Amino acid sequence: MSPTRRPSDPAAARNGRVVLICVTVLALMTGAAFASVPLYRAFCQATGFSGAVPTATKASRVVLERRVTVRFDTNVRDLPWSFAPVENQQSIHIGESGLAFFKVTNNSDKPLTGRAAYNVAPLQAGAYFRKLQCFCFNDQTIAAHTTVQFPVVYFVDPGFAKDPDMNGMSDVTLSYTFYPSVSPTQKVASKPAQGLGGTAGAAL
């Protein structure tokens, strides 16, 4: 006589499914955590969310009579660098391409590498501020006691003038902050910082 087959335990089966679901959700959340930073940055660059500046591949074909004043703000965090715009502000037509230069000096006795982050204020204007050329989000290595000049090419999208939230707004601030991108104990290769069009920035 064959042994009697015990029916499966419904509670055990349910518990197994719950464990499997929890493990799957945990794996998905872990993957999302690792991907969240680059995805968030790409989203901000594409939309201007949180004051980020969307990138553009070509200049605007429409230039309006209305002008905006673009002010430049510079900051440095944990680097012995001096960082300042050549001009504190520029007045440009909406849709017109502007060219601004920034000077960065490494005041230390060794080459250091930094990386600049940026945002636009007020935050609503970030969706309309476009950069065509920028030194941000790329490592910039500057030799000891050397000054490098970086260009930024930008424009304010004509959609700015159609947005009711932008009515009466005439000032926009573009802010950059340089952070160290390499640990002080890590060996840094001495190479020129990259300027406009991928060429070396002009040392002054």
* Residue 63 reports pLDDT greater than 80: yes
pLDDT of residue 22: 57
Q: How far is CA 138 from the centre of its chain?
A: 10
Cβ-Cβ contacts under 8 Å for 57 (sequence gap 6 or more):
132
> Percent of the chain scored above 70 by pLDDT?
62
- Partners of residue 75 on adjacent β-strands: 177
pTM: 0.66
Phi-psi region of 37 (alpha: psi -120 to 50; beta: other; left: phi over 0): alpha
* Residue 174 reports pLDDT greater than 70: yes
pLDDT for 124-158, tens place per residue?
999 999 999 999 878 999 999 999 999 999 999 99
Question: Where along the chain do its domains lie?
Answer: 67-203
DSSP string, 74-88: EEESSS-EEEEESSS
Domain 67-203 has CATH 2.40.420.20: no
pLDDT of residue 1: 52
Residues across the chain: 204
pLDDT for 5-57, tens place per residue?
555 566 666 666 666 665 565 555 544 433 333 443 444 444 444 444 566 77
Instruction: Identify the band that residue 181 occupies on the pLDDT scale cut at 50, 70 and 90.
Output: confident
Residue-wise over 158-177: b if at least 16 C-beta within 10 A, else e?
Answer: bebbeeeebeeeeebbbebb
pLDDT of residue 188: 43
